[in-house]
Amino acid sequence: MIKVKLIQYTKDPERVVAMAARLCYSPIGAEELAEKMSDAQVEKLVDKIVSLGHASTLEHVSFTFAIEGVSRVLTHQLVRHRIASYSQQSQRYVSEHDFEYIVPPTVSSTPGAQAKFDALMEQIRVVYDELVGLGVHKEDARYVLANAAETKIVATFNARSLQNFFALRCCNRAHWEIRELADKMVKQVKHVAPLLFKNAGASCVATGHCPEGSMTCGKLAEMLKLRDL
């Protein structure tokens, strides 16, 4: 089961974004601006920034997540979001003896499939241990490991990059595992920065229309209802 926790983020992120935006048009410095801006002014300005899509100032705030219980399939997709920083549990240095693994829902729900899947994972465990026992280095024995192997990763995004991540990965057409991760992450950032992420989610949630064309999931109305909850 995916575990994700927002472990660190920029203090008062919405005020930081508002201050950075106001600085562009102010003769006074950033520190003084941050002190003088009222909560109402911050809210109004952040709402305007988000609504207009003037997202460069969102890059001044960051959010760090600890992620566990995910597969290497997921992290291969995750690190394709290049404007972010990642630190992943290393199969080179950490023993994968008796490794945990992620079972896809179509495997667990298809009669006879999980038994075959589990049998293969057990075989891989045995071969991995045998290779290490023969003196093969862990960094080389890991070549037999499956994409299903469970891993852990710390990921840090700025708010603009996070919005892009959510737009792509909260989409119904995203792979089920990373979509589940994205859904958990968006709930956590909305809790600490509701103004910045008020429209965060699949692209259709923010824009009101689906960008997928003929490949749409056909659930636009359903997704818009989720936005308004």
pTM for this structure? Answer: 0.92
Checking if the pLDDT of 218 tops 80, the result is: no
Q: Which residues contact 114 (CB under 8 A, 6 or more apart)?
A: 103, 107, 108
The binding site for FAD consists of 56, 80-82, 88, 158-160, 164
Give pLDDT tens digits for 59-76: 999 999 999 999 999 999
Percent of the chain with pLDDT over 70: 97
| The predicted structure's pLDDT at residue 183 | 95
Give pLDDT tens digits for 199-211: 898 888 877 788 8
Checking if the pLDDT of 110 tops 60, the result is: yes
| Cα separations in angstroms, 219 against 106, 180, 199, 208, 222 | 21, 17, 17, 12, 5
Instruction: Name the residue with higher pLDDT: 119 or 52.
Output: 119
- Residue of 72, 169, 179, 227 marked catalytic: 169
User: What average pLDDT score do residues 88-93 get?
Assistant: 97
The binding site consists of 56, 77-82, 88-92, 142, 158-160, 164, 169
- H helical segments located in 62-215: 72-78, 105-109, 113-133, 138-141, 159-169, 176-192, 203-207
CATH no. for 3-85+151-202 = 3.30.1360.170
Name the token pair of 19.
Answer: 């201050």
The binding site for dUMP consists of 77-80, 88-92, 142, 169
- Which among 36, 35, 88, 39 has a CA at the least distance from the CA of 65? 88
Q: Is 179 a catalytic residue?
A: no
| The predicted structure's pLDDT at residue 228 | 56
